[in-house]
Amino acid sequence: LEYVGGHCFDVGEHLVDDSFLSTSEPGAVSRLVIIDAANVLHGNNSVPLLEEQKVDAAYILSLVRFFVYKGIECMVVTLHKYMLDTVTENTFIMRRLQELGLLMVMDRTYDDLMLFAVAGEFDGVILSEDQFKAEQQRREFMTPNVRNALQLKVSPIYPRAAADFLPKSKWGQVSKNGHFVVDHLMRFAGSTQDLRNKFFSSPARGGYRFELVEEKYGTWLKRKDKVLKALDDLVAKIQPIMMKTREDVPTLLPRGN
């Protein structure tokens, strides 16, 4: 056990690679990360979902806290159905993220369009495995901001086989370097430098859009510590839930397409 953020967490020996979330580039500041909730929730399932199975909001918490812990602001974009207990496990996480201003709920608005609207407004990074090929044929997507957002998009590497998962005894722990882990170590497609270039903007690379990033980052700094404390409260709440239930999880199978 180790105290992190004022809580006594179950801490493991594993490390999550976060080396790309720091940079020595002059004047660089982090971009807003916009998380595609549907993609993350379904992408992290170890087995293909049956109609009656639920997705788990713990994966959203793990991802949001990963970035916030390193000082980077996040915004989750989700459809309303993922706020429902009939669809999602641990919906208290989703509701708290919404209260913290870290989650946008779309009732009727096209959620993928909102991802790009937010990314375009703040020169942010969309986090999604989706390539949005069909969406790019829509008129609303044929703008310079959308093209820029597509270039900045980062794909999570989701677990595809049983070997990608940690032993059950380590599920729900906080990594040795401070990251809450559900059942596998988070990874992202791209080299360290490529990821740094996407997650950070600088006066030299950002051009006039750097001002958008810098202004958003300045606003974020005023509430960053408060948000991290609230996320740590959520981790403290979810850890005992996961520790109690992880032994009941069936043997993991490779994830379906």
User: Residue 208 belongs to what domain range?
Assistant: 2-19+27-248
Is residue 91 assigned to a domain? yes
Within a domain: residue 255? no
Written as one string, the DSSP assignment of 130-187 is ---TTGGGSGGG-SHHHHHHHHH-B-B----SGGGSPPGGGTTPBPTTS-B-SSS---
* Residue 254 located in a structural domain: no
Which 3-state string (H, E, C) describes 114-140? HHHHHHHHHCCEEECCCCCCCHHHCHH
Q: Report if residue 199 sits inside a domain.
A: yes
C-alpha 174/C-alpha 9 separation (Å) is 7
Question: Is residue 105 situated within a structural domain?
Answer: yes
pLDDT in tens, 50-81: 455 789 999 999 999 999 999 999 999 999 99
Structure confidence by residue, pLDDT tens digits, 90-105 = 999 999 999 999 999 9
pLDDT grade for 247, boundaries at 50, 70 and 90 = low
In this prediction the pTM is 0.91
CATH number of the domain to which 37 belongs: 3.40.50.11980
**CA separation for the pair 210, 205 (Å, rounded):** 8
Does residue 53 belong to any structural domain of this protein?
yes
Q: In the chain, how many domains are there?
A: 1
Per-residue pLDDT tens digits for 176-199 = 999 999 999 999 999 999 999 999
- Give burial (CB, 10 Å; 0-12/13-18/19+) of 168: middle
Residue 257 belongs to a domain = no
The answer as to whether 99 is a domain residue is yes
